[in-house]
Amino acid sequence: MTGSQQPLFPHVRQTEDGRAYELPAVSTAELPPRTRASDPVSSHEAEAWMRDTGKLAAQARQALELIRRHPGRTSKELALATDALDRYQLARRLADLREQGFARTTGGGKGEGELRWWAA
């Protein structure tokens, strides 16, 4: 199995209030390309490296675990709850998870307050 097909195996975790949950299985092969045709070759190489080494999958797993443990937080608040990802890495992985249906958001619109993240 190549890095781009490496599944994110389910793991049992706990929320802040102690409830158990299981992370769903997700394949990084399902993640759409993050680079555009107009991006430099180095960007395409970096994305391929992230997929092939499993780092993309690991970051997605960490982001999903964060929103399970800390539901309803902003990406900034979530980033403060971990040393594993910076705010910008986390924001990218949260968007990936939302695109795949593993996360949902509330707020973010005019008069709705900050964008808050929840596990789907």
Q: pLDDT means per 10 residues in the chain (120 residues)?
A: 43 58 60 86 93 88 92 95 93 91 90 90
pLDDT at 66: 93
Q: What is the CATH number of the domain that holds 10?
A: 1.10.10
Would residue 99 count as lying in a domain?
yes
pLDDT at 16: 62
Give this prediction's pTM. 0.73
- The residue segments making up the domain with residue 64 are 3-28+41-119
pLDDT at 10: 45
Would residue 34 count as lying in a domain?
no
Would residue 49 count as lying in a domain?
yes
Would residue 33 count as lying in a domain?
no
Query: Total domain count for the chain?
Result: 1
pLDDT at 33: 81
Would residue 84 count as lying in a domain?
yes
Would residue 36 count as lying in a domain?
no
3-class secondary structure per residue, the chain: CCHHHCEECCCEEECCCCCEEECCCEEHHHCCCCCCCCCCHHHHHHHHHHHHHCHHHHHHHHHHHHHHHCCCECHHHHHHCCCCCCHHHHHHHHHHHHHHCCEEEECCCCCCCCCEEEEC
pLDDT at 2: 45
Would residue 35 count as lying in a domain?
no
